[in-house]
Amino acid sequence: MDRNDFFDLHAKTWNNQLTCEKTKRIKKILKHAGLTPGQTILDIGTGTGVLLPFLRKAVGTKSKIWALDYAKEMIKRARKINGKSFKYVHADAQKIPAKNNFFDHVICFSVFPHFSNKLKTLKEIYRVLKPCGRVMVAHSESRQGINAFHNKLSAPVKHDALPPAHIMKKLFKASGFHVPNIHNTKTHYIASAIKKTKKIQVQTCLSKEGKEQPD
């Protein structure tokens, strides 16, 4: 069984994980995201679309929201549950079918440990983000909690792990991003970074955005 098979197998019951506590944690995470109405957003590893209603509420009906997942059954379920107001994409995060500088924001919620090539994926995210665009890697558990949970599972996800902070910083920097701010607590994990370019510095991006990243 490969990762596609694993997630396809669990697609029908995936939404059972959305407890009241997890809903509260998702709302708290998105407060750090810097989302504003009118943005174009990519939800990578959307699964059955758990994050989509929260994103729509945050940015409004005029924003474009893409939901991407490499598991076909997950995308089918996401479309069935969340309707036609989102663009559903069956693709690998290493080959996002979007042009350069397209998205304002890319969110990887509860998926980063499952990327087989994390550096290549981050470079692809960098490509599709606009200058000053932001990427957020987030979980509704601590890094330690996520890794402990995966260790209890069977192959092929048993050894999928969220890297320690120093590795995450190296990955982001090697991909071209500003070194991320990493926020790891008992209830959530956030690693957030901005796409910098030679012409546009991070402070300029933060000034335009008007919001600080989480400490």
What single string gives the DSSP state of each residue in 59-77?
H-TTSEEEEEES-HHHHHH
Going by C-alpha positions, the residue among 163, 161, 167, 162 that lies closest to residue 179 is: 167
pLDDT above 70 covers what percent of the chain?
82
pLDDT per residue over 121-160, tens digit each? 999 999 999 999 999 999 999 999 999 988 877 666 778 8
How open is the CA angle 8-3-22, to the nearest 5 degrees? 70
Pick the CATH number of 3-13+23-209 from 3.40.50.2300, 3.10.129.10, 3.40.50.300, 3.40.50.150: 3.40.50.150
Compute the Cα dihedral for 79, 111, 118, 181 and give only its sign. positive
Sheet with 64-69: list strands edge to edge. Answer: 87-90, 64-69, 40-44, 103-109, 129-139, 189-194, 181-184
The answer to whether the CB of 68 falls within 8 A of the CB of 50 is no
CA dist 110 and 38 (Å) reads 24
60 pLDDT exceeds 70?
yes
pLDDT per residue over 101-125, tens digit each? 999 999 999 999 999 999 999 999 9
Predicted TM-score (pTM) of this structure: 0.88
Q: Give the domain ranges of the chain.
A: 3-13+23-209
